[in-house]
Structure 1
Amino acid sequence: MAKKDEGKSTSKSRGQPTKYKPEYVTQVEKLCLLGATDKDIADFFEVAESTINNWKIEYPEFLESIKKGKLLADANVANSLYKRALGYEAPDIDIRVIDNQIVETPLIKHYPPDPTSAIFWLKNRQPDKWRDKQIQEVSGTVTNQNINLSNDEFRVIAKELLEKV
Structure 2
Amino acid sequence: MSLTAKGKYEYWLTPEGLLLLEGWARDGLIDEQIAENMGIVPSTLYRWKNEHEEISEALKKGKEVVDRQVENALLKRALGYSYEEVTKEICENPETGNLEMKITKKVKKEVVPDTTAQIFWLKNRRPDKWRDKRDVEHSGGLNVQNQYESMTEEELMELAKKYEKINSS
Q: How many angstroms apart in 2 are the aligned matches of 1:32 and 1:93?
A: 33
Deviation at 1:96, TM superposition (A): 6.4
- Which residues of structure 1 form unaligned runs of 5+? 1-15, 136-140, 142-165
Deviation at 1:97, TM superposition (A): 8.5
Q: Residues 146-161 of structure 1 correspond to what in structure 2 (within 5 A)? A: none
In structure 2, the residue matched to 1:18 is 8
Say which is worse superposed, 88-97 or 107-116, in terms of deviation: 88-97
In structure 1, the residue matched to 2:76 is 83
Q: How many angstroms apart in 1 are the aligned matches of 2:121 and 2:7?
A: 46
Q: Name the aligned partner's letter for residue 108 of structure 2.
A: I
The C-alpha deviation readout for 1:11-62, integer Å capped at 9, x for no partner, is xxxxx86244122211111111121111111111110112112222333222
Q: How many angstroms apart in 2 are the aligned matches of 1:73 and 1:53?
A: 20
Deviation at 1:102, TM superposition (A): 7.2
- Which residues of structure 2 form unaligned runs of 5+? 1-5, 92-99, 136-145, 147-169
Q: Name the aligned partner's letter for residue 18 of structure 1.
A: K
The CA RMSD over aligned residues, in Å, is 3.1
In structure 1, the residue matched to 2:121 is 121
| Equivalenced residues, count | 121
Q: How many angstroms apart in 1 are the aligned matches of 2:7 and 2:78?
A: 50
What TM-score does the superposition give when structure 1 sets the normalisation length? 0.61
Asked if the contact 2:9–2:48 (Cα under 8 Å) also holds between the matched residues in 1, the reply is no
Asked if the contact 2:25–2:59 (Cα under 8 Å) also holds between the matched residues in 1, the reply is yes
Asked if the contact 2:79–2:118 (Cα under 8 Å) also holds between the matched residues in 1, the reply is yes
Q: Residues 85-164 of structure 1 correspond to what in structure 2 (within 5 A)? A: 85-95=78-88, 104=103, 105-133=105-133
Q: Percent identity?
A: 38
What TM-score does the superposition give when structure 2 sets the normalisation length? 0.60
Q: Name the aligned partner's letter for residue 8 of structure 2.
A: T
The C-alpha deviation readout for 1:137-165, integer Å capped at 9, x for no partner, is xxxx9xxxxxxxxxxxxxxxxxxxxxxxx
Asked if the contact 1:20–1:55 (Cα under 8 Å) also holds between the matched residues in 2, the reply is no
